[in-house]
Amino acid sequence: MQNSRQELDAILTRFKGRHGALIPLLQEVQQLEGYLKKDTLKYVSEQMGVSAAEIFGVATFYSMFRLKPQGKYVIRVCKGTACHVSGANTILNAIRENLKLEGDEDTTEDTLFTVMEVACLGCCSLAPVIMIGDQTYGKLTPEAIPGVLGKFAK
């Protein structure tokens, strides 16, 4: 915890006085802590002299910021046009079923995976596509999902 606070302070120091710094700052904070914690945002607000409302406004506007803990691996399911016409929905359903996610849950109980829908990953010729971490998987079928996810399971 102590270390983490020091690293956080180091980030804040680097961004102090720079204009237009709020978004990259929050990106780094999220990188450090996994998601944007309420207490951390309060601390950022005090240290940077930016109102908590402004920070919260920015954090909720952009889809990349997360206010809840997320899994070790983030699965981005592409919902772009090419993927949509190639069956992205069946891929998403297969993933959710495989990970036993119900209702609006997006993170598995063991916090290994978080499933996110994204607009377009730009690999349209490989549709349907998902990304796990930095790795892209293309030309998927629902049957291929257990195998792909299996590589990441503990």
Partner 1 sequence: MEKIIAKLGLGSCGIAAGAGEVWTELEKIVHDEKYLVKLEKTACIGMCFEEPVLELSGPGKPTVMLGTVSPGDVKSILDGYLSNTLEYNNIILHEHKEAVHNDLIGNQQRIVLRNCGVIDPESLDDYEAAGGYQALRKALTLKPMDIIDEVKASGLRGRGGAGFSTGMKWQFAFNARSDKKYIVCNADEGDPGAFMDRSTLEGDPHAIIEGMIIGAYAMGADEGYLYVRAEYPMAIKHLRKAIADAEAKGYLGQNILGKGFNCELHIKEGAGAFVCGEETALMQSIEGKRGMPTIRPPFPAESGLWGKPTNINNVETWANIPWIITHGADAFRKFGTEKSPGTKVFALAGKIKNSGLIEVPMGMTLHDVIYKVGGGIKDGKKFKGVQLGGPSGGCVPASLLDTTVDYDSINKTGAIMGSGGMVVMDEDSCMVDIARFFLNFTQNESCGKCTFCRIGTRRMLEILTRITEGKGVMEDIEKLEQLAVKIIKGSLCGLGQTAPNPVLTTLRYFRDEYIAHIEEKRCPAHSCTALLKYEVVPDKCVGCTACARKCPVQCISGAVKQVHEIDQSKCIKCGACYTACKFNAITKV
Question: Which residues here bind partner 1, judged by CB under 8 A?
Answer: 19-24, 26-27, 54, 57-58, 61-65, 79-86, 90, 118-127, 129, 134, 136-138
Cβ-based burial of 44 (10 A; exposed 0-12, middle 13-18, buried ≥19)? buried
Q: Quick one: how far is CA 128 from the chain centroid?
A: 19
Between 85 and 110, name the residue whose CB sits nearer to partner 1. 85
Q: Smaller CB distance to partner 1: residue 34 or 138?
A: 138
Q: How far is the CB of 50 from partner 1 (least distance, A)?
A: 9
Q: How far is the CB of 78 from partner 1 (least distance, A)?
A: 8
Based on CB atoms, which residue is closest to partner 1, 71 or 76?
76
Q: Tell me which residue of 104, 89, 30, 26 sits closest to 58, measured CA to CA.
A: 26
Name every residue whose Cβ is closer than 8 Å to that of residue 67 and which is 6 or more positions away in sequence. Answer: 35, 36, 38, 59, 60
CB of 7 to partner 1, least distance (A): 20
